[in-house]
């Protein structure tokens, strides 16, 4: 930043000197007082630092087809610029530094990229795996962790330098590595920084504590949680980790506050007795909606949103929707839940009123809706439509479109307020 201010000051000084010389020649060597004051003012401005820019209204949109991200401003409703060279973003996710200045982008090709949102530049990039699908930021902001398919495991990096801090192979049997999914940060216990993740091929959940002293991570393994955990989330209070199960109906619930955490099955019968339907796209549990005491979640392969009491973890209702839900997102005030869908209904979005548990609006923002993201005070929802090459900004109170921004095959939308939330 200091170098940028210096360069800008040098440029202004050169311009002011050129203007001064021109005035000298035009006036035969005598500069009028007003002109001189103008030149001096210009020189004074050149010495002042640029106006600080905050990060609270910024965000990142993945442009998956071209390996770049767009930096957006939610106050101005603008695309401020793009950062290129981020590799394969066909499946990508983002976490933020605690000061919201840096976005860490996890690419499908195993690349981990550190992007400066203020300068809109790629500051660092490491190829840390062969196939990666996401990551998490530690509670204190010191570490960024990546979950990997190939080779299976988790790698933890220094958030400032992207230097490797810990390598945790997901070896569940001699010579066998599992794909890792559902990686989240969890509140610290003791002095270490904690991450929780699921092993798809091992039917296990691991809790990893990263000591501050450079010692090896401490790993706690919870086995036999259920068949094929495909994703996971942590509740907003940081207490419960929930793994979705692809290989059977239901989910695995782990109380992280328990002295010896164990898994128990919840919602084990939501598909029982019904003919299995083809699953066109796996739902994302990280898009769970928690509104008050109720959680709203997608049912695998069903045209339903399940409603769950978060005190008892029992199902309380089912809400019919038009297709297979992928993301079920709660408005920050809990008044609405927005749902998008797998093919063939992936160009539509439905809105559920949580007071009536009824669908109150169906929208068609564009072909292939992939992701939705609310601003923190619920005045906007940003929706990406990949095949329409645009991002729509909608007012959730009246469903009016506030802005459309053309982008190249947009997918994930990540706003910086995620930096202050557990599990995001």
CATH number at residue 161: 2.130.10.10
Confidence check: pLDDT of 15 > 70: no
Averaged over 265-274, what is the pLDDT? Answer: 68
* Kind and range of the H or E run holding 71: strand 68-73
pTM for this one?
A: 0.85
DSSP 171: E
Which regions of 257-323 does DSSP assign to beta strands (E)? 263-266, 289-291, 294-298, 304-309, 315-320
Which stretch of 41-45, 76-80, 171-175 has the lowest confidence by average pLDDT? 41-45
- Predicted confidence (pLDDT) per residue in 97-139, tens digit: 999 999 999 999 999 999 999 999 999 999 999 989 899 999 9
Domain boundary residue, one of 13, 30, 46: 46
Considering the domain architecture, whether residues 264 and 136 belong to the same structural domain is answered as yes
Structure tokens, 152: 């299976």
If asked whether residues 41 and 148 sit together in one domain, one would say no
Task: List residues bridging with 338 in a β-sheet.
Answer: 329, 351
Confidence of residue 374 (pLDDT cuts 50, 70, 90): very high
Longest dimension (CA), the chain: 97
In a domain, 255, yes or no: yes
Mean pLDDT of 325-352: 94
Q: Does residue 248 carry a pLDDT above 60?
A: yes
Distance from C-alpha of 380 to C-alpha of 391, rounded to nearest angstrom: 12
Lowest mean pLDDT among 13-27, 42-56, 196-210, 288-302: 13-27
Do 30 and 132 fall within a single domain? Answer: no
Is residue 225 assigned to a domain? Answer: yes
Helix, strand, or coil (residue 106)? strand
27 and 155 housed in the same domain = no
What is the rounded distance in angstroms from the CA atom of residue 198 to the CA atom of residue 124? 28
Same domain, 140 and 261: yes
Q: Judge contact between 168 and 157, C-beta under 8 A.
A: no
pLDDT exceeds cutoff 90 at 13: no
Question: Is 378 contained in some domain?
Answer: no
Residue 410 belongs to some domain of the structure: no
Distance CA 64, CA 86 (A): 10
Phi, psi of 380 (to 5 degrees): -145, 150
Query: What value does the mean pLDDT of the chain take?
Result: 86
- Tokens standing for residue 19: 């203007």
Burial class (CB in 10 A: 0-12, 13-18, 19+), 386: buried
In whole angstroms, what is the distance from residue 291 CA to residue 378 CA?
A: 13
Q: Which residues are registered as beta bridge partners of 146? A: 135, 155
DSSP class of residue 283 equals -
Is there a contact between 145 and 135 (Cβ–Cβ < 8 Å)? Answer: yes
Q: Domain count for the chain, please give it.
A: 2
- Identify which of 304, 299, 301 has the alpha carbon closest to the alpha carbon of residue 281: 301
- Asked if residue 135 and residue 39 are part of one domain, the reply reads no
What residues pair up with 164 in beta bridges, in sequence order? 157
> Is 70 within the bounds of a domain?
no
Q: What is the pLDDT of residue 92?
A: 92
Give the pLDDT of residue 51: 64
| Residue 211: domain span | 128-268
Looking at 243, 268, 293, the residue that finishes a domain is: 268
- Distance (Å, whole) CA 400 – CA 259: 49
Residue 42 has pLDDT above 60, yes or no: no
Residues 40 and 145 both lie in one domain = no
- Nearest of 181, 298, 294, 280 to residue 236 by alpha carbon: 294
Confidence of residue 50 (pLDDT cuts 50, 70, 90): low
What region does 236 belong to: left with phi over 0, alpha with psi -120 to 50, or beta? alpha
The average pLDDT across 144-165 equals 96
Return the top range by mean pLDDT from 180-194, 230-244, 404-418: 404-418
Residue with tokens 């939610």: 74
Q: Alpha-carbon distance 136 to 147, whole Å?
A: 8
CB 288 within 8 A of CB 306: no
CA angle 329/246/366 to nearest 5° reads: 40
Element of type H or E holding 42: helix 33-46
Q: Is 183 inside a domain boundary?
A: yes
Q: Which region among 61-70, 96-105, 180-189, 287-296 has the lowest average model confidence (pLDDT)?
A: 287-296
Is 329 among the domain residues?
A: no
Same domain, 16 and 135: no
Q: What pLDDT band is residue 287 in, cutting at 50, 70 and 90?
A: low
What pLDDT, on the 0 to 100 scale, is given for residue 275? 56
Quote the pLDDT of residue 273: 44
Look at 167-176, 282-291, 324-333 and tell me which has the smallest mean pLDDT: 282-291
CA distances in angstroms from 323 to 277, 315, 341, 424, listed in the order given: 11, 20, 6, 26
Whether residue 356 is predicted with pLDDT greater than 90 in this model: the reply is: yes
Q: Tell me: pLDDT of 246 over 90.
A: no
Write down the pLDDT at residue 207: 97
Q: What percent of the chain has pLDDT over 90?
A: 69
Question: Under a CB-based contact definition with an 8 Å cutoff, are residues 199 and 178 in contact?
Answer: yes
Q: With bands split at pLDDT 50, 70 and 90, how would you rate the model's confidence at 159?
A: very high
Exposed/middle/buried for residue 252 (C-beta within 10 Å: 0-12, 13-18, 19+): buried
Q: CB-based contacts of 212: which residues, under 8 Å, 6+ apart? A: 191, 192, 193
Of the given ranges (101-105, 295-299, 320-324), which has the lowest mean pLDDT?
295-299
The per-residue pLDDT for 290 is: 77
Query: Which residues on neighbouring strands pair with residue 113, listed in sequence order?
Result: 105, 125
Structure tokens at 217: 């991570």
On whether both 39 and 145 belong to a single domain, the answer is no
Tell me what pLDDT residue 362 has: 98
Stretch 267-279: mean pLDDT: 60
Whether 56 is in a domain gets the answer: no
- Residues 94, 100, 101, 103, Cα dihedral to 10°: 0
Q: Report the pLDDT averaged over residues 377-387.
A: 97
* Same domain as 137, residue 38: no
From 210, 240, 268, the end of a domain falls on 268
27 and 146 share a domain?
no
């Amino acid at each position: 930043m200091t170098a940028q201010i210096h360069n800008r000051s040098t440029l202004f000084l050169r311009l002011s000197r050129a203007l001064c010389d021109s005035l000298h020649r035009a006036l035969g060597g005598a500069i009028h007082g007003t002109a001189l004051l103008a030149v001096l003012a210009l020189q004074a401005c050149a010495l002042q630092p640029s106006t600080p820019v905050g990060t609270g209204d910024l965000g990142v949109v993945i442009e998956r087809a071209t390996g770049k991200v767009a930096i957006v401003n939610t106050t101005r409703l603008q695309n401020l610029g793009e950062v290129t060279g981020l590799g394969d973003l066909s499946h990508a996710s983002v976490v933020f530094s605690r000061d919201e200045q840096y976005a860490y982008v996890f690419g499908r090709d195993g690349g981990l990229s550190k992007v400066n949102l203020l300068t809109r530049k790629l500051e660092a990039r490491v190829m840390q795996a062969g196939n990666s699908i996401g990551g998490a930021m530690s509670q204190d902001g010191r570490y960024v962790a990546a979950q990997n398919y190939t080779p299976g495991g988790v790698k933890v990096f220094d958030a400032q330098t992207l230097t490797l801090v810990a390598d945790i192979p997901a070896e569940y049997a001699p010579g066998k590595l599992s794909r890792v999914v559902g990686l989240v940060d969890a509140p610290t216990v003791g002095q270490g920084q904690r991450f929780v993740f699921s092993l798809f091929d091992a039917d296990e959940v691991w809790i990893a504590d990263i000591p501050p002293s450079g010692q090896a991570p401490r790993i706690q393994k919870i086995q036999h949680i259920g068949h094929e955990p495909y994703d996971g989330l942590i509740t907003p209070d940081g207490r419960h980790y929930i793994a979705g199960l692809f290989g059977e109906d239901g989910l695995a619930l782990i109380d992280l506050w328990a002295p010896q955490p164990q898994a128990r099955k919840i919602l084990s019968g939501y598909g029982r007795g019904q003919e299995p339907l083809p699953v066109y796209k796996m739902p994302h549990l990280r898009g769970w909606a928690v509104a008050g005491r109720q959680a709203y979640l997608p049912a695998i392969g069903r045209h339903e949103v399940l409603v769950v009491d978060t005190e008892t973890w029992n199902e309380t209702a089912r809400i019919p929707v038009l297709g297979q839900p992928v993301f079920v997102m709660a408005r920050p005030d809990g008044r609405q839940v927005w749902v998008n869908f797998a093919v063939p209904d992936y160009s539509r979005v439905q809105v559920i009123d949580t007071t009536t548990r009824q669908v109150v609006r169906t929208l068609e923002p564009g072909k292939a809706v992939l992701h939705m993201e609310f601003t923190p005070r619920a005045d906007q929802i940003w929706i990406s439509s990949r095949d329409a090459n645009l991002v729509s900004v909608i007012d959730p109170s009246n469903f009016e479109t506030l802005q459309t921004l053309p982008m190249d095959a947009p997918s994930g939308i990540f706003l910086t307020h995620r930096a202050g939330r557990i599990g995001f």
